[in-house]
Amino acid sequence: MFDLDLLTERARVTPDKLAVVSIETGERLTYAQLNERAERAAEILRAVLEPRDRFGLLAYNSIEFLELFFAAGKANVIVVPLSTRATQHELEHIASDCGMKALFYGPEFEAIDVGVTRYATNVGQASACPGQAEACPTFEACPTSEARPASAEDTYALLYTSGTTGKPKGVMIPKRQLYWNGYNTAVNWGLREDDVSPVFTPLYHAGGIAAFLIPIFCMGGTIILHKGFDVNEVWTTIERERCTVVLGVPTIWKLLMDAPQFPSVNLENVRWFISGGAPLPQYIIDAYQQRGVVFKQGYGMTEVGVNCFTMTVDESFRKPGSIGRPMLFTEV
């Protein structure tokens, strides 16, 4: 199964299901449409990289980010999502540390140069085939490489995490780990194909890409993609798009709680909220429960790809402050 990828399989099983909505651009893509765009991006990667080469991805949350992230698995190369808050010095260290061969950047980062070949994240729409001396009339006419066999243990992504000491360290996430954790999360958290979830945490972080986006895609749900976090925009999205499950960190839940919309926003479609990343104060739990919302907590580590615990609805009320129980087949 690992010569395929999650997006390919989703597009095969539920091609017409809505996969992602971009708040920034208004695009609404089905799994088939998103997969088609990721396939085009994969051909770009095959044209400029060798198997298992590393490429940096420096961009805010966007459709293009998703295209390139899923394209990495298709092209059997390793994606290195980069923090949009990192300094030039930090980015140079990561590029050197991982042996980065290319950098794909969003429009806000055009001036960033870490000493490797650079491409805009919208390169798939360009008229020239990267790495080719002559322009191609259309992208479809560009030469492509043969399919490259992959294994379940191949590193899919390098996620850099600073830990508590020293310089950032690249955590090697194999495809097996990414998919297994996604399915295990979907099963343990009770995700459904009709779930709709806003993603406003950065996709360069394990919490953004692996804690919720991959599990939602495993179930065939819908992601509402925000470029970044904006309190008013998030509450509007939750109400307008009828979001059902929402993941955040304590700071975000505090900001949302303090917003003017909090007492009156329509939450009738919400099944539960969940918090991770840091201990959640009791008064925040109380505030959301008073609004009639189930509020769960969890715990994860980048090194395990990322979710570790699960909590029932009953436990969220009976043991506030707990992170629940280890997920199935997980030892703690």
CA separation for the pair 79, 90 (Å, rounded): 17
Q: What percent of the chain has pLDDT over 70?
A: 90
What tokens does 47 get? 């044209």
Angle between helices 282-290 and 250-258 (to 10 degrees): 50
Please report the pLDDT score of residue 129 as a whole number: 47
DSSP 240: H
For range 135-154, the mean pLDDT: 55
What tokens does 175 get? 């495809």
Cα 328 off chain centre by: 22
Please report the pLDDT score of residue 149 as a whole number: 64
For range 111-134, the mean pLDDT: 71
What tokens does 98 get? 């991982």
Taking only the tens place, the pLDDT of each residue in 9-27 is 999 999 999 999 999 999 9
For range 142-162, the mean pLDDT: 75
**What size, in residues, is the chain?**
332
Taking only the tens place, the pLDDT of each residue in 47-96 is 999 999 999 999 999 999 999 999 999 999 999 999 999 999 999 999 99
C-alpha torsion angle, residues 267, 272, 278, 279 (rounded to 10): 90
For the chain, what is the mean pLDDT? 91
Taking only the tens place, the pLDDT of each residue in 36-48 is 999 999 999 999 9
> 58 forms bridges with which residues in the sheet?
105
